[in-house]
Chains A and B, each alone.
Chain A
Amino acid sequence: MMMEEIMVENTRNNTEFENLPQHLIHHIMNYVPYNDAVKFSVLSKTLLSMWLSFPVLDFDYTFFSGQHKDRHRTFLSFILETVHHRCPHRINKPLQRLRVNYPNHYLNSYFNTIFEVLLNFAIKNHAQEIIFDICTINWVNLRSDSLLSLFSSEFLTVLNLRRFRFLVADSIILCPKLKELVISSCKGAQTITVSSPSVEKVEISFCRDLVYNNSKCSVDISACLSLKKCSNLKEAIIEAPKLLKLKYQGSPQVHPMQILANKCSTASIKLPEREIDYDLWFDNLKQFLSCFDHFKNLTISCFKVKDLIIPVKFLKNNESLLRDAKHIKVKSLDFPQGQPVRRLVERLFRLVHKPLKFTFFLEGVRSTLKFEYENKAKKRKRVERRCCLGISTKCWRHYALKVNIQGVNEKERGRLDKLFFHYNL
Protein backbone atom coordinates (compact mmCIF):
# COMPACT_ATOMS: atom_id res chain seq x y z
CA MET A 1 0.00 0.00 0.00
CA MET A 2 2.78 2.33 0.98
CA MET A 3 4.63 1.45 -2.21
CA GLU A 4 1.56 2.17 -4.33
CA GLU A 5 1.09 5.54 -2.73
CA ILE A 6 4.68 6.46 -3.47
CA MET A 7 4.24 5.34 -7.08
CA VAL A 8 1.16 7.49 -7.52
CA GLU A 9 2.96 10.40 -5.94
CA ASN A 10 5.88 9.91 -8.34
CA THR A 11 3.79 9.89 -11.49
CA ARG A 12 2.06 13.00 -10.31
CA ASN A 13 5.38 14.72 -9.80
CA ASN A 14 6.45 13.80 -13.29
CA THR A 15 4.37 16.52 -14.80
CA GLU A 16 6.20 19.36 -13.11
CA PHE A 17 7.15 22.29 -15.27
CA GLU A 18 10.80 21.34 -15.00
CA ASN A 19 10.15 17.83 -16.22
CA LEU A 20 8.88 19.03 -19.56
CA PRO A 21 11.34 18.25 -22.34
CA GLN A 22 14.00 20.86 -23.01
CA HIS A 23 12.87 21.71 -26.54
CA LEU A 24 9.40 22.39 -25.16
CA ILE A 25 10.72 24.80 -22.53
CA HIS A 26 12.82 26.47 -25.24
CA HIS A 27 9.72 26.86 -27.35
CA ILE A 28 7.97 28.60 -24.46
CA MET A 29 11.01 30.84 -23.97
CA ASN A 30 10.67 31.80 -27.61
CA TYR A 31 7.24 33.23 -26.94
CA VAL A 32 8.28 35.22 -23.87
CA PRO A 33 9.89 38.64 -24.37
CA TYR A 34 13.60 38.23 -23.80
CA ASN A 35 13.72 40.34 -20.66
CA ASP A 36 11.07 38.09 -19.13
CA ALA A 37 12.77 34.97 -20.44
CA VAL A 38 15.90 35.97 -18.50
CA LYS A 39 13.94 35.09 -15.37
CA PHE A 40 14.22 31.41 -16.24
CA SER A 41 17.84 31.64 -15.08
CA VAL A 42 16.88 32.25 -11.45
CA LEU A 43 13.81 30.04 -11.11
CA SER A 44 15.56 26.75 -10.38
CA LYS A 45 18.71 24.82 -11.21
CA THR A 46 17.06 22.73 -13.92
CA LEU A 47 15.61 25.79 -15.58
CA LEU A 48 18.96 27.59 -15.32
CA SER A 49 20.60 24.85 -17.34
CA MET A 50 17.81 25.06 -19.91
CA TRP A 51 18.24 28.82 -20.08
CA LEU A 52 21.96 28.46 -20.68
CA SER A 53 21.33 26.20 -23.64
CA PHE A 54 18.51 28.33 -25.10
CA PRO A 55 19.72 28.84 -28.69
CA VAL A 56 18.51 32.41 -29.02
CA LEU A 57 20.41 35.60 -28.25
CA ASP A 58 18.36 38.74 -28.23
CA PHE A 59 19.80 42.10 -27.29
CA ASP A 60 17.24 44.82 -27.34
CA TYR A 61 18.25 48.27 -26.20
CA THR A 62 14.62 49.31 -25.76
CA PHE A 63 14.22 46.86 -22.87
CA PHE A 64 16.63 48.92 -20.81
CA SER A 65 15.72 52.08 -19.06
CA GLY A 66 17.60 54.84 -17.31
CA GLN A 67 19.60 57.89 -18.20
CA HIS A 68 21.49 57.86 -21.45
CA LYS A 69 24.90 56.92 -20.03
CA ASP A 70 23.60 54.38 -17.51
CA ARG A 71 21.40 52.79 -20.10
CA HIS A 72 24.38 52.47 -22.39
CA ARG A 73 26.49 50.91 -19.71
CA THR A 74 23.87 48.40 -18.56
CA PHE A 75 23.09 47.37 -22.12
CA LEU A 76 26.75 46.82 -22.83
CA SER A 77 27.41 44.87 -19.67
CA PHE A 78 24.27 42.83 -20.31
CA ILE A 79 25.68 41.77 -23.68
CA LEU A 80 29.10 41.00 -22.23
CA GLU A 81 27.72 39.04 -19.27
CA THR A 82 25.39 37.07 -21.49
CA VAL A 83 28.12 36.19 -23.95
CA HIS A 84 30.41 35.29 -21.07
CA HIS A 85 27.95 33.07 -19.21
CA ARG A 86 25.70 31.62 -21.84
CA CYS A 87 27.89 31.17 -24.81
CA PRO A 88 30.37 28.59 -23.46
CA HIS A 89 27.39 26.26 -23.12
CA ARG A 90 26.49 26.51 -26.70
CA ILE A 91 29.67 26.03 -28.70
CA ASN A 92 29.07 23.32 -31.30
CA LYS A 93 25.33 23.70 -31.09
CA PRO A 94 23.60 25.70 -33.79
CA LEU A 95 22.39 29.10 -32.75
CA GLN A 96 18.82 29.59 -33.79
CA ARG A 97 18.74 33.36 -33.75
CA LEU A 98 20.82 36.39 -32.94
CA ARG A 99 18.94 39.64 -32.82
CA VAL A 100 20.30 43.02 -31.95
CA ASN A 101 18.06 46.04 -31.73
CA TYR A 102 19.91 49.27 -31.11
CA PRO A 103 17.94 52.39 -31.90
CA ASN A 104 20.27 54.93 -30.46
CA HIS A 105 21.65 58.23 -31.60
CA TYR A 106 25.31 57.51 -31.76
CA LEU A 107 27.37 54.38 -32.18
CA ASN A 108 30.79 54.48 -30.58
CA SER A 109 33.71 52.37 -31.66
CA TYR A 110 33.31 50.13 -28.64
CA PHE A 111 29.83 49.07 -29.71
CA ASN A 112 31.11 48.65 -33.23
CA THR A 113 33.61 46.08 -31.98
CA ILE A 114 31.00 44.36 -29.81
CA PHE A 115 28.58 44.04 -32.71
CA GLU A 116 31.25 42.63 -34.95
CA VAL A 117 32.27 40.14 -32.24
CA LEU A 118 28.63 39.10 -31.86
CA LEU A 119 28.28 38.67 -35.57
CA ASN A 120 31.39 36.52 -35.79
CA PHE A 121 30.22 34.52 -32.81
CA ALA A 122 26.90 33.88 -34.52
CA ILE A 123 28.54 32.77 -37.75
CA LYS A 124 30.89 30.45 -35.89
CA ASN A 125 27.94 28.92 -34.09
CA HIS A 126 26.05 28.21 -37.28
CA ALA A 127 23.39 30.83 -36.69
CA GLN A 128 20.23 30.40 -38.73
CA GLU A 129 18.82 33.88 -38.30
CA ILE A 130 20.89 37.02 -37.90
CA ILE A 131 19.00 40.24 -37.40
CA PHE A 132 20.81 43.50 -36.75
CA ASP A 133 18.38 46.34 -36.48
CA ILE A 134 20.62 49.28 -35.83
CA CYS A 135 19.43 52.82 -36.09
CA THR A 136 22.26 55.23 -35.40
CA ILE A 137 23.53 58.19 -37.34
CA ASN A 138 26.77 56.42 -38.17
CA TRP A 139 27.39 52.95 -39.51
CA VAL A 140 28.75 49.71 -38.13
CA ASN A 141 31.90 48.94 -40.04
CA LEU A 142 32.13 45.40 -41.20
CA ARG A 143 35.53 44.12 -42.20
CA SER A 144 35.88 42.08 -45.34
CA ASP A 145 36.73 38.80 -43.60
CA SER A 146 33.62 39.03 -41.40
CA LEU A 147 31.58 39.89 -44.45
CA LEU A 148 32.97 37.00 -46.45
CA SER A 149 32.18 34.44 -43.80
CA LEU A 150 28.74 35.95 -43.25
CA PHE A 151 27.83 35.90 -46.92
CA SER A 152 28.95 32.32 -47.37
CA SER A 153 27.49 30.84 -44.21
CA GLU A 154 26.00 27.43 -44.87
CA PHE A 155 23.39 27.67 -42.17
CA LEU A 156 21.91 31.11 -42.54
CA THR A 157 18.23 31.31 -43.49
CA VAL A 158 17.39 34.89 -42.51
CA LEU A 159 19.76 37.83 -42.76
CA ASN A 160 18.66 41.30 -41.88
CA LEU A 161 21.28 44.04 -41.76
CA ARG A 162 20.57 47.66 -41.13
CA ARG A 163 23.06 50.47 -40.85
CA PHE A 164 26.20 48.60 -41.83
CA ARG A 165 29.12 49.79 -43.87
CA PHE A 166 30.49 46.99 -46.01
CA LEU A 167 34.18 47.42 -46.56
CA VAL A 168 33.88 45.45 -49.77
CA ALA A 169 32.34 47.08 -52.80
CA ASP A 170 31.09 43.95 -54.51
CA SER A 171 29.07 41.79 -52.21
CA ILE A 172 28.26 38.30 -53.33
CA ILE A 173 25.85 36.41 -51.14
CA LEU A 174 26.23 32.69 -51.51
CA CYS A 175 24.48 31.25 -48.42
CA PRO A 176 22.86 28.09 -49.78
CA LYS A 177 19.95 28.02 -47.35
CA LEU A 178 19.14 31.72 -47.27
CA LYS A 179 15.43 32.45 -47.56
CA GLU A 180 15.08 36.07 -46.59
CA LEU A 181 17.53 38.88 -47.14
CA VAL A 182 16.95 42.44 -46.04
CA ILE A 183 19.67 45.00 -46.45
CA SER A 184 18.67 48.49 -45.52
CA SER A 185 20.45 51.76 -44.92
CA CYS A 186 23.78 50.14 -45.66
CA LYS A 187 26.79 51.82 -47.14
CA GLY A 188 29.69 50.68 -49.21
CA ALA A 189 27.96 48.07 -51.31
CA GLN A 190 28.09 49.08 -54.93
CA THR A 191 26.88 45.81 -56.24
CA ILE A 192 24.95 43.15 -54.45
CA THR A 193 24.72 39.75 -55.98
CA VAL A 194 22.51 37.18 -54.38
CA SER A 195 23.02 33.70 -55.68
CA SER A 196 21.44 31.62 -52.97
CA PRO A 197 19.21 29.08 -54.67
CA SER A 198 16.66 29.04 -51.87
CA VAL A 199 16.02 32.77 -51.52
CA GLU A 200 12.36 33.78 -51.42
CA LYS A 201 12.51 37.42 -50.49
CA VAL A 202 15.12 40.09 -51.07
CA GLU A 203 14.64 43.62 -49.94
CA ILE A 204 17.24 46.25 -50.52
CA SER A 205 16.27 49.64 -49.24
CA PHE A 206 17.80 53.01 -48.48
CA CYS A 207 21.24 51.89 -49.71
CA ARG A 208 22.77 55.11 -50.84
CA ASP A 209 25.95 53.72 -52.31
CA LEU A 210 24.17 51.27 -54.47
CA VAL A 211 25.49 53.36 -56.53
CA TYR A 212 26.03 56.19 -58.86
CA ASN A 213 26.50 54.30 -62.03
CA ASN A 214 26.19 50.78 -63.13
CA SER A 215 24.96 49.36 -59.92
CA LYS A 216 24.22 45.81 -60.50
CA CYS A 217 21.93 43.73 -58.47
CA SER A 218 21.88 40.23 -59.71
CA VAL A 219 19.61 37.94 -57.91
CA ASP A 220 18.99 34.30 -58.33
CA ILE A 221 15.68 34.08 -56.60
CA SER A 222 12.29 32.82 -57.44
CA ALA A 223 9.82 34.85 -55.49
CA CYS A 224 10.04 38.51 -54.86
CA LEU A 225 12.64 41.24 -55.07
CA SER A 226 12.05 44.66 -53.71
CA LEU A 227 14.17 47.73 -54.09
CA LYS A 228 13.18 50.53 -51.77
CA LYS A 229 14.30 54.11 -51.76
CA CYS A 230 17.93 53.62 -52.72
CA SER A 231 18.13 57.29 -53.45
CA ASN A 232 21.42 57.37 -55.29
CA LEU A 233 20.55 54.58 -57.59
CA LYS A 234 20.98 55.92 -61.07
CA GLU A 235 21.37 52.88 -63.20
CA ALA A 236 20.43 49.38 -62.29
CA ILE A 237 20.73 45.96 -63.72
CA ILE A 238 18.48 43.41 -62.15
CA GLU A 239 19.46 40.00 -63.30
CA ALA A 240 17.02 37.53 -61.88
CA PRO A 241 16.01 34.80 -64.29
CA LYS A 242 13.75 33.04 -61.83
CA LEU A 243 12.10 36.10 -60.37
CA LEU A 244 8.32 36.13 -60.25
CA LYS A 245 7.57 39.52 -58.79
CA LEU A 246 9.45 42.78 -58.69
CA LYS A 247 8.72 45.61 -56.32
CA TYR A 248 10.30 48.97 -56.72
CA GLN A 249 9.89 51.88 -54.43
CA GLY A 250 11.69 55.10 -55.10
CA SER A 251 12.28 57.84 -57.57
CA PRO A 252 11.89 57.28 -61.30
CA GLN A 253 15.31 58.80 -61.91
CA VAL A 254 16.83 55.38 -62.40
CA HIS A 255 17.54 54.98 -66.03
CA PRO A 256 18.31 52.67 -67.60
CA MET A 257 16.99 50.02 -65.35
CA GLN A 258 17.68 46.82 -67.10
CA ILE A 259 15.47 44.05 -65.87
CA LEU A 260 16.57 40.67 -67.02
CA ALA A 261 13.86 38.48 -65.64
CA ASN A 262 12.20 36.27 -68.20
CA LYS A 263 9.65 34.70 -65.92
CA CYS A 264 8.67 37.87 -64.16
CA SER A 265 5.46 39.39 -65.45
CA THR A 266 4.28 41.26 -62.37
CA ALA A 267 5.80 44.45 -61.07
CA SER A 268 4.71 47.04 -58.62
CA ILE A 269 6.11 50.54 -58.61
CA LYS A 270 5.70 52.98 -55.80
CA LEU A 271 6.57 56.51 -56.74
CA PRO A 272 7.46 59.24 -54.27
CA GLU A 273 5.96 62.69 -54.21
CA ARG A 274 7.18 64.82 -57.06
CA GLU A 275 9.79 67.18 -55.68
CA ILE A 276 11.77 67.92 -58.79
CA ASP A 277 11.00 70.10 -61.74
CA TYR A 278 7.86 69.27 -63.73
CA ASP A 279 9.62 68.65 -67.04
CA LEU A 280 12.41 66.62 -65.52
CA TRP A 281 9.96 64.48 -63.57
CA PHE A 282 7.90 63.51 -66.59
CA ASP A 283 10.93 62.99 -68.76
CA ASN A 284 12.33 60.63 -66.12
CA LEU A 285 9.02 58.95 -65.59
CA LYS A 286 8.57 58.26 -69.25
CA GLN A 287 12.00 56.70 -69.57
CA PHE A 288 11.60 54.81 -66.33
CA LEU A 289 8.28 53.28 -67.36
CA SER A 290 9.76 52.19 -70.64
CA CYS A 291 12.01 49.83 -68.63
CA PHE A 292 8.89 47.94 -67.63
CA ASP A 293 7.74 47.34 -71.18
CA HIS A 294 7.78 43.56 -70.87
CA PHE A 295 5.61 43.32 -67.76
CA LYS A 296 2.05 42.14 -68.11
CA ASN A 297 0.72 43.22 -64.75
CA LEU A 298 1.79 46.59 -63.49
CA THR A 299 0.75 48.28 -60.30
CA ILE A 300 1.68 51.92 -60.01
CA SER A 301 1.17 53.72 -56.74
CA CYS A 302 1.70 57.43 -56.48
CA PHE A 303 1.00 60.29 -54.13
CA LYS A 304 -0.93 62.39 -56.57
CA VAL A 305 -2.57 61.10 -59.69
CA LYS A 306 -1.51 64.19 -61.57
CA ASP A 307 2.11 63.08 -61.17
CA LEU A 308 1.22 60.14 -63.35
CA ILE A 309 -0.54 62.00 -66.12
CA ILE A 310 2.32 62.49 -68.50
CA PRO A 311 1.82 65.62 -70.63
CA VAL A 312 1.19 65.05 -74.31
CA LYS A 313 4.37 66.85 -75.31
CA PHE A 314 6.40 63.96 -73.93
CA LEU A 315 4.37 61.40 -75.85
CA LYS A 316 4.60 62.70 -79.34
CA ASN A 317 4.73 59.58 -81.41
CA ASN A 318 2.32 56.76 -80.96
CA GLU A 319 4.90 54.29 -79.79
CA SER A 320 3.59 52.36 -76.77
CA LEU A 321 5.92 52.50 -73.80
CA LEU A 322 4.30 49.62 -71.98
CA ARG A 323 4.11 47.25 -74.86
CA ASP A 324 3.16 44.07 -73.04
CA ALA A 325 0.99 45.56 -70.33
CA LYS A 326 -2.35 43.79 -70.04
CA HIS A 327 -3.52 44.83 -66.63
CA ILE A 328 -2.62 48.18 -65.12
CA LYS A 329 -3.52 49.12 -61.59
CA VAL A 330 -3.19 52.67 -60.38
CA LYS A 331 -3.33 53.43 -56.70
CA SER A 332 -3.38 56.84 -55.16
CA LEU A 333 -4.63 58.38 -51.99
CA ASP A 334 -4.93 61.82 -53.40
CA PHE A 335 -7.49 62.21 -56.13
CA PRO A 336 -9.20 65.57 -56.05
CA GLN A 337 -12.88 65.57 -56.90
CA GLY A 338 -12.54 67.77 -59.91
CA GLN A 339 -9.99 65.54 -61.58
CA PRO A 340 -11.73 63.31 -64.08
CA VAL A 341 -10.79 59.67 -64.51
CA ARG A 342 -11.06 60.36 -68.20
CA ARG A 343 -7.74 62.20 -68.29
CA LEU A 344 -5.94 59.35 -66.60
CA VAL A 345 -7.49 56.81 -68.93
CA GLU A 346 -6.64 58.85 -71.95
CA ARG A 347 -2.97 59.18 -70.92
CA LEU A 348 -2.71 55.52 -70.04
CA PHE A 349 -4.04 54.65 -73.46
CA ARG A 350 -1.17 56.54 -74.96
CA LEU A 351 1.28 54.36 -73.05
CA VAL A 352 -0.15 50.93 -73.65
CA HIS A 353 -0.37 48.69 -76.68
CA LYS A 354 -3.39 46.48 -76.22
CA PRO A 355 -4.59 46.44 -72.63
CA LEU A 356 -7.27 44.17 -71.20
CA LYS A 357 -8.02 45.83 -67.93
CA PHE A 358 -7.41 48.99 -65.92
CA THR A 359 -8.07 49.03 -62.20
CA PHE A 360 -8.02 52.21 -60.17
CA PHE A 361 -7.95 52.60 -56.42
CA LEU A 362 -8.42 56.29 -56.03
CA GLU A 363 -9.12 57.68 -52.58
CA GLY A 364 -10.39 54.29 -51.50
CA VAL A 365 -12.78 53.90 -54.43
CA ARG A 366 -12.23 50.96 -56.72
CA SER A 367 -13.18 51.18 -60.34
CA THR A 368 -12.44 48.89 -63.24
CA LEU A 369 -12.43 49.18 -66.99
CA LYS A 370 -12.36 45.99 -69.04
CA PHE A 371 -11.64 46.03 -72.72
CA GLU A 372 -12.63 43.71 -75.50
CA TYR A 373 -11.51 43.99 -79.05
CA GLU A 374 -13.62 43.30 -82.10
CA ASN A 375 -11.96 40.51 -83.99
CA LYS A 376 -11.35 42.09 -87.33
CA ALA A 377 -8.68 44.69 -87.34
CA LYS A 378 -10.53 47.72 -88.42
CA LYS A 379 -9.03 49.79 -91.09
CA ARG A 380 -9.38 53.36 -90.19
CA LYS A 381 -7.93 56.32 -91.86
CA ARG A 382 -6.86 57.94 -88.68
CA VAL A 383 -4.79 54.99 -87.49
CA GLU A 384 -3.11 54.19 -90.69
CA ARG A 385 -0.52 56.39 -89.20
CA ARG A 386 2.69 54.58 -88.49
CA CYS A 387 1.84 53.49 -84.99
CA CYS A 388 2.26 49.76 -85.56
CA LEU A 389 4.64 49.64 -88.44
CA GLY A 390 6.44 46.30 -88.49
CA ILE A 391 4.60 44.96 -85.45
CA SER A 392 2.46 41.91 -86.01
CA THR A 393 0.01 42.54 -83.18
CA LYS A 394 -1.67 45.79 -83.93
CA CYS A 395 -2.40 48.18 -81.15
CA TRP A 396 -5.80 49.10 -79.75
CA ARG A 397 -6.19 51.84 -82.30
CA HIS A 398 -6.80 49.23 -84.98
CA TYR A 399 -9.79 47.64 -83.31
CA ALA A 400 -13.29 48.49 -82.34
CA LEU A 401 -13.20 48.79 -78.58
CA LYS A 402 -15.83 47.35 -76.30
CA VAL A 403 -15.60 48.67 -72.80
CA ASN A 404 -17.10 47.44 -69.58
CA ILE A 405 -16.97 50.13 -66.92
CA GLN A 406 -17.62 49.52 -63.23
CA GLY A 407 -17.41 51.61 -60.10
CA VAL A 408 -17.50 54.99 -61.85
CA ASN A 409 -20.09 57.64 -61.12
CA GLU A 410 -22.60 58.84 -63.70
CA LYS A 411 -20.78 62.00 -64.61
CA GLU A 412 -17.47 60.22 -65.17
CA ARG A 413 -19.16 57.47 -67.11
CA GLY A 414 -20.54 60.02 -69.51
CA ARG A 415 -17.09 61.47 -70.03
CA LEU A 416 -15.54 58.04 -70.57
CA ASP A 417 -18.26 57.00 -73.01
CA LYS A 418 -17.51 60.10 -74.97
CA LEU A 419 -13.80 59.27 -75.02
CA PHE A 420 -14.35 55.72 -76.23
CA PHE A 421 -16.85 56.88 -78.78
CA HIS A 422 -14.15 59.15 -80.07
CA TYR A 423 -11.65 56.26 -80.14
CA ASN A 424 -14.05 54.11 -82.09
CA LEU A 425 -14.67 56.67 -84.77
Chain B
Amino acid sequence: MSSSVEAITVLSSDGDEFKITVSAAKLSKPLNWMLEDVCFSDDCDEVPTIEVNSKTLVKVIEYCEKHAPRANSGASDSDAEELKKWDIEFMKMDVKDILFHILMAANYLHMEGLYDLACQTAADLMKGMTVSQIRKIFHIKNDFSSEEQEQLRRQHPGCSFD
Protein backbone atom coordinates (compact mmCIF):
# COMPACT_ATOMS: atom_id res chain seq x y z
CA MET B 1 0.00 0.00 0.00
CA SER B 2 1.05 3.59 -0.16
CA SER B 3 2.30 5.83 2.56
CA SER B 4 -0.99 7.69 2.54
CA VAL B 5 -2.24 5.54 5.39
CA GLU B 6 -2.82 7.91 8.28
CA ALA B 7 -4.40 5.67 10.84
CA ILE B 8 -4.68 1.97 11.45
CA THR B 9 -7.54 0.12 13.00
CA VAL B 10 -6.90 -2.40 15.74
CA LEU B 11 -9.10 -4.62 17.84
CA SER B 12 -8.92 -4.76 21.60
CA SER B 13 -9.09 -8.07 23.42
CA ASP B 14 -12.78 -7.35 24.04
CA GLY B 15 -13.33 -7.09 20.30
CA ASP B 16 -13.87 -3.33 20.05
CA GLU B 17 -12.35 -1.39 17.18
CA PHE B 18 -9.90 1.45 17.76
CA LYS B 19 -8.07 3.82 15.46
CA ILE B 20 -4.46 4.78 16.07
CA THR B 21 -2.70 7.39 13.98
CA VAL B 22 0.52 6.35 12.32
CA SER B 23 2.67 8.79 14.25
CA ALA B 24 1.21 7.61 17.57
CA ALA B 25 1.73 3.96 16.69
CA LYS B 26 5.43 4.67 16.23
CA LEU B 27 5.82 4.92 20.01
CA SER B 28 5.42 1.18 20.28
CA LYS B 29 7.51 -1.38 18.43
CA PRO B 30 4.82 -4.05 18.14
CA LEU B 31 2.32 -1.46 16.92
CA ASN B 32 4.86 -0.24 14.43
CA TRP B 33 5.30 -3.77 13.09
CA MET B 34 1.56 -4.08 12.75
CA LEU B 35 1.52 -0.80 10.90
CA GLU B 36 4.14 -2.07 8.47
CA ASP B 37 2.12 -5.22 7.97
CA VAL B 38 -0.99 -3.22 7.22
CA CYS B 39 0.86 -0.86 4.89
CA PHE B 40 2.71 -3.44 2.91
CA SER B 41 0.41 -6.41 2.74
CA ASP B 42 -2.03 -6.73 -0.13
CA ASP B 43 -4.70 -8.12 2.04
CA CYS B 44 -5.79 -5.10 4.03
CA ASP B 45 -9.01 -6.41 5.37
CA GLU B 46 -7.43 -8.12 8.31
CA VAL B 47 -7.66 -6.08 11.50
CA PRO B 48 -4.89 -6.87 14.00
CA THR B 49 -5.87 -7.68 17.56
CA ILE B 50 -4.04 -6.25 20.56
CA GLU B 51 -4.21 -8.28 23.73
CA VAL B 52 -5.26 -5.30 25.83
CA ASN B 53 -8.79 -4.66 27.02
CA SER B 54 -10.82 -1.75 25.69
CA LYS B 55 -10.71 0.34 28.82
CA THR B 56 -6.91 0.19 28.94
CA LEU B 57 -6.45 0.59 25.22
CA VAL B 58 -8.36 3.88 25.29
CA LYS B 59 -5.87 5.17 27.83
CA VAL B 60 -2.85 3.82 25.96
CA ILE B 61 -3.98 5.45 22.73
CA GLU B 62 -4.65 8.70 24.57
CA TYR B 63 -1.07 8.61 25.87
CA CYS B 64 0.35 7.82 22.43
CA GLU B 65 -1.55 10.62 20.69
CA LYS B 66 -0.38 13.12 23.28
CA HIS B 67 3.25 12.08 23.20
CA ALA B 68 3.62 11.38 19.49
CA PRO B 69 4.26 14.95 18.27
CA ARG B 70 7.06 15.42 20.76
CA ALA B 71 8.64 12.00 20.22
CA ASN B 72 8.64 12.51 16.46
CA SER B 73 9.96 16.02 16.28
CA GLY B 74 11.46 16.99 19.60
CA ALA B 75 10.03 19.95 21.47
CA SER B 76 10.99 22.92 23.54
CA ASP B 77 11.42 22.96 27.30
CA SER B 78 8.07 24.60 27.91
CA ASP B 79 6.37 21.82 25.99
CA ALA B 80 8.21 19.22 28.03
CA GLU B 81 7.08 20.98 31.18
CA GLU B 82 3.48 20.99 30.04
CA LEU B 83 3.69 17.34 29.04
CA LYS B 84 4.93 16.45 32.50
CA LYS B 85 1.92 18.09 34.06
CA TRP B 86 -0.29 16.25 31.63
CA ASP B 87 1.36 12.95 32.57
CA ILE B 88 0.62 13.53 36.24
CA GLU B 89 -3.05 14.23 35.49
CA PHE B 90 -3.18 11.28 33.14
CA MET B 91 -1.89 8.91 35.79
CA LYS B 92 -4.60 9.76 38.32
CA MET B 93 -6.49 6.49 37.97
CA ASP B 94 -7.78 3.56 39.89
CA VAL B 95 -4.96 1.24 40.88
CA LYS B 96 -6.57 -2.15 40.46
CA ASP B 97 -8.90 -1.32 37.58
CA ILE B 98 -6.52 0.50 35.33
CA LEU B 99 -2.97 0.99 36.62
CA PHE B 100 -2.06 -2.71 36.66
CA HIS B 101 -3.49 -3.09 33.17
CA ILE B 102 -1.54 -0.07 31.96
CA LEU B 103 1.64 -1.57 33.42
CA MET B 104 1.00 -4.83 31.62
CA ALA B 105 0.06 -3.08 28.37
CA ALA B 106 3.13 -0.83 28.41
CA ASN B 107 5.27 -3.88 29.03
CA TYR B 108 3.57 -5.85 26.27
CA LEU B 109 3.66 -3.00 23.77
CA HIS B 110 7.30 -2.09 24.59
CA MET B 111 6.44 1.52 25.34
CA GLU B 112 9.35 2.72 27.36
CA GLY B 113 7.93 6.09 28.28
CA LEU B 114 4.61 4.82 29.51
CA TYR B 115 6.28 1.88 31.23
CA ASP B 116 8.56 4.15 33.23
CA LEU B 117 5.73 6.54 33.97
CA ALA B 118 3.43 3.79 35.23
CA CYS B 119 6.17 2.21 37.36
CA GLN B 120 7.01 5.61 38.80
CA THR B 121 3.34 6.17 39.61
CA ALA B 122 3.08 2.82 41.35
CA ALA B 123 6.27 3.57 43.27
CA ASP B 124 5.00 6.99 44.31
CA LEU B 125 1.86 5.43 45.74
CA MET B 126 4.08 3.31 47.94
CA LYS B 127 6.43 5.97 49.26
CA GLY B 128 6.17 6.56 52.97
CA MET B 129 3.24 4.15 53.40
CA THR B 130 3.03 1.51 56.07
CA VAL B 131 2.90 -2.15 55.12
CA SER B 132 -0.82 -2.42 55.80
CA GLN B 133 -1.52 0.71 53.76
CA ILE B 134 0.45 -0.67 50.83
CA ARG B 135 -1.49 -3.94 51.01
CA LYS B 136 -4.71 -1.97 50.89
CA ILE B 137 -3.68 0.24 47.97
CA PHE B 138 -2.45 -2.65 45.84
CA HIS B 139 -4.98 -5.23 47.03
CA ILE B 140 -2.34 -7.63 48.28
CA LYS B 141 -3.37 -10.53 50.48
CA ASN B 142 -1.18 -11.23 53.46
CA ASP B 143 -0.32 -14.93 53.37
CA PHE B 144 2.27 -14.92 56.15
CA SER B 145 1.68 -16.21 59.63
CA SER B 146 2.40 -13.70 62.37
CA GLU B 147 5.57 -15.60 63.39
CA GLU B 148 6.89 -15.50 59.84
CA GLN B 149 6.07 -11.83 59.68
CA GLU B 150 7.96 -11.16 62.89
CA GLN B 151 10.98 -13.09 61.68
CA LEU B 152 11.07 -11.21 58.38
CA ARG B 153 10.91 -7.88 60.13
CA ARG B 154 13.84 -8.87 62.29
CA GLN B 155 15.90 -9.38 59.14
CA HIS B 156 15.76 -5.67 58.46
CA PRO B 157 16.94 -3.95 61.58
CA GLY B 158 16.47 -0.23 61.59
CA CYS B 159 13.69 -0.26 58.99
CA SER B 160 10.24 0.80 60.02
CA PHE B 161 7.38 -1.15 58.53
CA ASP B 162 4.53 0.60 60.26
Contacts of B129 in A (CB 8 A): 36, 39
A35 to B107, CA, bound (A): 26
Contact in complex: B128, A64 (CB < 8 Å):
no
* Band of interface residues on A: 35 or more
Closest residue on chain B to residue A31 by CB atoms: B123
* B67 touches A (CB below 8 Å): no
Flag whether A44 is at the interface (Cβ < 8 A). Answer: yes
Distance in angstroms from A168 CB to nearest chain B CB is 35
A212 contacts chain B at the CB level, 8 A cutoff: no
Question: Does more than half of chain B's interface fall in helix, strand or loop, or is it mixed?
Answer: helix
Interface status of B34 (Cβ within 8 A of chain A): no
Those of A57-116 within 8 Å (CB) of chain B: 63-64, 66, 71, 74-75, 77-78, 81-82, 85
- In the bound assembly, the distance between CA atoms of A21 and B123 in angstroms comes to 16
Report the separation of the CA atoms of residues A39 and B159 in the bound assembly, to the nearest whole angstrom.
Answer: 9
A17 at the interface (CB under 8 A from B): yes
> Which residues of chain A are within 8 angstroms of B158 by Cβ–Cβ distance?
63-64, 66, 71, 74-75, 77-78
Output the least CB separation between B121 and chain A (Å).
9
Q: Which residues of B lie under 8 Å from residue A403 when comparing CB positions?
A: none
Closest to B138 in A: A17
Q: Are A48 and B152 in contact (CB under 8 A)?
A: yes
Alpha-carbon distance between A28 and B102 when the two chains are bound, in angstroms: 13
Q: Is the CB of B157 within 8 A of A74?
A: yes
Interface string of A9-40 (1 = CB under 8 A from B): 00000011110110010011111110110110
Give the most central of B107, B115, B140, B157: most A CB within 10 Å: B157
B157 interface neighbour in A41, A43, A48, A77, Cβ under 8 Å: A77
By a CB distance below 8 angstroms, the chain B residues around A20 are 100, 103-104
Interface pick from B40-48, B78-86, B141-149: B141-149
In the complex, whether A47 has a CB less than 8 A from a CB of chain B is yes
Q: For residue B123, which residues in chain A have a CB less than 8 angstroms away from its CB?
A: 28-32
In the complex with contacts A27-B115, A48-B152, A42-B126 CB distance below 8 A: no
Q: Which 4 A-B pairs rank lowest in CB-CB distance, beginning with the nearest?
A: A31-B123, A74-B158, A17-B138, A32-B123
Q: 20 additional contacts, CB 8 Å, given A15-B100, A29-B123, A64-B158?
A: A16-B139, A17-B100, A17-B138, A21-B107, A24-B103, A30-B123, A32-B126, A32-B127, A38-B159, A38-B161, A39-B129, A39-B161, A42-B131, A42-B153, A44-B144, A66-B158, A71-B158, A74-B157, A75-B158, A85-B155
**B residues lining the A interface (CB < 8 Å):** 96, 100-101, 103-104, 107, 115-116, 119-120, 122-124, 126-129, 131, 134-135, 138-144, 149, 152-153, 155-161
A-B contact list, 6 entries, CB within 8 Å? A32-B123, A43-B131, A43-B134, A44-B143, A75-B158, A78-B157
